[in-house]
Amino acid sequence: MMPCISVFGQDEEINYHKYKKEIGIDFQSILSGGGSLGTALILKIRKPDKGLISVNEKTAYRFRLILNGDIPIEQVYYDTYPGSQFFIINNEYNAFNAGFSVGLERQINRKRLQYSYGLDLGYLYSDRQYVNYRRISSIQSGKTEDIRNVETYKIHTPSLTPFFGFKYFILPEISVSVESGLSFYYNLINSQETEQILPDQEVETILISKGNEVGFDFDYLRALNLSYYF
C-alpha cells in the first residue's frame, strides 16, 4: 500500500473594494440624444473608518461637476391666420448648463457588486435661448415682414437630491454604474423677449420678467458612470 498525499491550492480572493478614491465620467447626457453634448465628472473619497463598523459598509464624500449643452436644432413650421399668411421659416433652440454638487454616500459592498445611497446638495446655472424667424404676409395690403423673435432664459437652481445606485466592478480599478435620484429644486428665472423687423430695424425688448418655481422630479437615469479607482 503506497501512501498518498494530496495538496489543494486555494484561489486568492480578489478584493474589489480596496481603493479609497474614485474618479468617474458620466455618459448619460451623451447617450440621451436630442442634440445634447457634455458630461459630468465625479470624484469620491472614502471617509476614514472609525470605531466598530461593518467591513462591507463604507461611507464616501462625493464631488460632482456638470457641464453640458445642446446643439442648435432647426425646425420649420407653417401656419395661417385669417387675413394673413404666417410662416415660421426657422426655429432654433440652444442651451448651456454648468453646475456642481457635494454629497455623502453610503456604500454596501458584495464582491463585484456595490449598492449605494445618499444625499447631494447642488447648484445648476442654465442659459437657454429660443430663436425663430417669422414671415407675415398680409393678403389685403400685399406687404411682407420678416421678424426675428428671441426668448432668453437665465435660471439659477439650488437643489437637494436623495439618490441610490448600483455598481459592477469589471476590475478592482474599473467599474460601471447607474444612479437614480429624486431632486427637489428651486428655480430663480430671469427671462427676456425681443423682436426685430429685418433686415435693419432696431431690436425691441417686448418683455422682461422674473419668476420663482419650486418643484421636484424623479430622474430614473441620473448618471451612467465609468469609473477608475486609485
What share of the chain in percent tops pLDDT 70?
A: 80
- pLDDT tens-place string over residues 75-100: 555 555 555 555 666 678 888 999 99
Strand 57-81 relative to strand 36-46, pairing: antiparallel
Rounded CA separation 91/63 (Å): 37
Q: Map grid coordinates 465628472 to a residue.
A: 41
Instruction: Write phi, then psi, for 28 (nearest 5 degrees).
Output: -60, -45
Rounded CA separation 176/27 (Å): 11
**pLDDT surpassing 90 at residue 188:** yes
What is the pTM assigned to this prediction? 0.81
Cβ distance 69 to 36 under 8 Å?
yes
